[in-house]
């Protein structure tokens, strides 16, 4: 196990701290303050700025009608983010080596070297292997999806590192104003789109997000704010995560339970949709024989839809016990698909009756 290797090598404690929030909420300012304070504590620390590491085009928010093209963009975007985590993992495994990044690596090599240069100083490495200098990575990014942060948590758990999150709360108007004063502001529509998608940490729902704090950054950061962050990181360093255990049997049971719940709720919603469609058909005086045909086609469509949904949940959708599935959202998304199918069938029958 990675943790056992760390113990054998006498590796110093380490922590991955996620800084998340809207653009211009103050993440980079906070990172600089924490970096300075960490140095005063004698820690080895580095900021991992996603904006510098990932090419600019990967951050662009676009609306693409072609579903295939949209999936390709989403896949490419995820690959960039995963490449950042692979670089961190590579450093954790061989901290004394500035490893050559593969040509296919999708991050800025020069920016990554700047991230870890201070960590490679001989004095810093000596402190690390003497067990005196904790290692801190401050991951500076928006991290607006829960899944983005969960990938960092998984890496921390794999290597028995500390893990914590700092969510910077800042009102939209202030973020837009700060962004516009930057030398290279991002488009305001990108920030507005991000607000719609933002999933802030939810420690009550997700146990893996328990070690999180919320900072109000509408005003300047206070010394008290910095102390709260340092206390959070210190706690994470003192309480590293446990490695992943083999719980495949439990995972499959949880997956089946989740799929059954989603399909049951989707079935109930589809029944209501069919009932509404039949009512609409009657109000438009659709003949009896066409009503029977409508009912049959809608029920056949529902059966095929639910079968496909169950198969996807059991075979295709990634599922982990720690990352709770938002059943309500999954059901709504799925039922929206069936609702469009219903509309096509209903319009087809009503047009035949004209």
Question: Distance between CA atoms of 253 and 270, rounded to whole angstroms?
Answer: 26
pLDDT value for 60 = 47
pLDDT value for 127 = 54
Distance between alpha carbon 281 and the CA centroid of its chain, in Å?
A: 43
CA atoms within 13 A on the CB side of 31: 25
Write the CB contacts of 342 (distance below 8 Å, at least 6 apart in sequence).
Answer: 273, 274, 277, 298, 301
Which uninterrupted H or E stretch holds 14? strand 14-20
Question: pLDDT, tens digit, for every residue of 16-33?
Answer: 999 999 999 999 999 999
Q: Is the pLDDT of residue 246 over 90?
A: no
Question: Distance between CA atoms of 140 and 27, rounded to whole angstroms?
Answer: 6
Give the residue carrying structure tokens 């169950």: 310
Q: Pick the closest to residue 307 from 263, 343, 247 (CA basis).
A: 263
CB-based contact 138:19 (threshold 8 Å)? yes
Phi, psi for residue 200 in degrees, rounded to 5: -70, 160
pLDDT value for 286 = 86
Alpha helices in the chain (DSSP H): 2-9, 27-40, 50-53, 67-93, 109-117, 122-129, 146-158, 172-180, 188-197, 223-238, 248-283, 288-311, 327-352
Lowest mean pLDDT of 78-87, 271-280, 294-303, name the range.
78-87
State the chain's mean pLDDT as an integer: 81
Average pLDDT over residues 193-206: 88
Say what the pTM is.
Answer: 0.65
CB-based contact 237:183 (threshold 8 Å)? no
Average pLDDT over residues 144-164: 92
In the chain, the domains with their CATH numbers are 2-238 (3.40.50.300), 248-352 (no CATH)
Question: pLDDT, tens digit, for every residue of 260-274?
Answer: 888 888 899 999 999
Question: Distance between CA atoms of 172 and 347, rounded to whole angstroms?
Answer: 42
Write the DSSP assignment of 54-67 as a string of letters.
Answer: S-GGGG-----S-H
Question: pLDDT, tens digit, for every residue of 25-82?
Answer: 999 999 999 999 999 998 999 999 998 888 765 544 443 444 334 334 444 667 888 8
Q: How many residues are present in the chain?
A: 354
Q: What is the CA radius of gyration of the chain?
A: 25
pLDDT value for 58 = 54
pLDDT value for 132 = 66
Paired residues of 49 in beta bridges = 140
Q: Is the pLDDT of residue 220 over 90?
A: no
Question: Distance between CA atoms of 76 and 74, rounded to whole angstroms?
Answer: 6
């Amino acid at each position: 196990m990675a943790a056992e290797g760390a113990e054998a090598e006498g590796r110093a404690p380490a922590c991955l701290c996620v800084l998340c929030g809207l653009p211009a909420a103050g993440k980079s300012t906070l990172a600089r303050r924490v970096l300075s304070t960490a140095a005063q504590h004698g820690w080895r620390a580095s900021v991992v700025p996603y904006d510098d590491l990932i090419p600019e085009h990967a951050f662009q928010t676009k609306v693409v009608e072609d579903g295939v093209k949209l999936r390709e963009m989403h896949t490419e975007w995820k690959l960039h983010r995963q490449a950042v985590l692979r670089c961190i993992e590579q450093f954790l495994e061989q901290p004394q080596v500035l490893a050559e990044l593969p040509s296919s690596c999708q991050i800025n090599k020069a920016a990554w070297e700047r991230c870890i240069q201070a960590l490679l100083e001989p004095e810093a490495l000596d402190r690390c292997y003497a067990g005196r200098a904790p290692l801190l990575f401050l991951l500076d990014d928006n991290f607006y999806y829960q899944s983005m942060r969960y990938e960092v948590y998984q890496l921390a758990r794999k290597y028995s590192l500390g893990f914590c999150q700092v969510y910077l709360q800042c009102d939209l108007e202030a973020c837009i104003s700060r962004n516009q004063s930057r030398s290279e502001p991002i488009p305001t529509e990108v920030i507005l789109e991000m607000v719609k998608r933002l999933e802030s940490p939810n420690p009550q729902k997700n146990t893996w997000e328990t070690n999180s704090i919320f900072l109000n950054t509408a005003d300047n950061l206070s010394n008290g704010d910095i102390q709260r962050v340092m206390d959070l990181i210190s706690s994470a360093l003192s309480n590293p995560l446990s490695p992943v255990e083999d719980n495949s049997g439990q995972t499959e049971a949880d997956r089946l339970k989740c799929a059954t719940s989603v399909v049951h709720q989707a079935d109930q919603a589809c029944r209501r949709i069919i009932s509404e469609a039949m009512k609409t058909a009657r109000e438009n005086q659709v003949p009896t024989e066409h009503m029977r045909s409508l009912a049959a086609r809608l029920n056949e469509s529902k059966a095929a839809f639910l079968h496909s949904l169950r198969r996807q949940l059991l075979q295709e959708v990634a599922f982990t016990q720690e990352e709770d599935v938002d059943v309500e959202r999954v059901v709504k998304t799925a039922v929206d698909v069936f609702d469009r199918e219903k509309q096509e069938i209903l319009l087809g029958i009503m047009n035949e009756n004209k």
